[in-house]
Amino acid sequence: MLNTLVFAAPLLHAKNHSSDTDSGQSCHDSIGSVFNDCLDPTWQEVTASHDSVKWQVVELNDPRANVIDIEFGAHEGQQFSIEAGALSDPNTPHTWLDLSAFRYGKLVFDVRVLNFSNNINGFEVSLGCGKDCKSAPIDVTPNTLDQWQTVSVGIEDLIAQGLEITQIQTAFEFNPIDGEQEGVHVQLDNIRFEAPIPEPMSLVAL
């Protein structure tokens, strides 16, 4: 598996948080944004591949505000994902997002590990592009407990690993390495696509 992550310096340490009943509620619309305090309306659903994945949006008592909080169980093959959904355009079913404007950009997100449990090989990140289409996973290995770190993955690397950039269905897929997932607890924030000169994303037929 290709490993192209880049870590920035640890970010502001997060304080105690409380549950937010608006899990995954969408809010502002910003070019390239996936989740920043809330789910950008470009993306329609947050899903977990198995009910042993427990996730919610929680509010932190610091400037970071809302983040995604995920706890993984013992079941193998667990995944957390943010998707456009098959009805991303209700007038044109089975359409996905064209992210060509970000071809030379990056997928960037902040991650904070609250409990590594038995995880020593880290996590995998990938993007999906409709039926039977996704990038091979990129390895992500946070090295610090209880501190925010920024991860940056090159979109060109994902394309080289099988991603069709004009047909993006899943903006973000995140999972611990199989066999090391039980008890892993992470938080995610500021998930976004960045490009030198981003342009509005458009829908294209699959």
3-class DSSP state of 134: strand
> Rounded distance, CA 88 to CA 120, Å?
37
CA 192 to each of CA 21, 56, 61, 184: distance values in angstroms, whole numbers, following the listed order: 23, 19, 22, 23
Provide the pLDDT confidence category of residue 188 given band limits of 50, 70 and 90: very high
Residue 198 one-letter amino acid: P
All structural domains of the chain: 6-205 (2.60.120.430)
Residue pair 89/98 in contact by the 8 Å Cβ criterion: no
- For residue 55, the model assigns a pLDDT of 95
- Tell me the pLDDT tens digit for each residue of 80-99: 999 885 545 545 555 688 88
> Rounded distance, CA 108 to CA 6, Å?
9
3-class DSSP state of 178: coil
Q: Is the dihedral of CA 76, 80, 83, 85 positive or negative?
A: positive
- Tell me the pLDDT tens digit for each residue of 57-80: 999 987 888 999 999 998 888 899
- For residue 150, the model assigns a pLDDT of 95
- For residue 85, the model assigns a pLDDT of 58
Task: Considering only residues 86 and 3, tell me which one the structure prediction assigns the higher pLDDT.
Answer: 86
Token pair for 27? 């809010």
CA 105 to each of CA 125, 131, 176, 183, 195: distance values in angstroms, whole numbers, following the listed order: 16, 24, 25, 33, 4
Provide the pLDDT confidence category of residue 16 given band limits of 50, 70 and 90: very low
> Mean pLDDT over all residues of the chain?
80
- For residue 130, the model assigns a pLDDT of 74
**Locus of tokens 């977990």:** 48
- Tell me the pLDDT tens digit for each residue of 147-187: 999 999 999 999 998 999 988 888 899 999 988 999 999 99
Provide the pLDDT confidence category of residue 45 given band limits of 50, 70 and 90: confident
Q: Within the chain, where are the H helices?
A: 155-160
52, pLDDT greater than 80: yes
3-class DSSP state of 63: coil
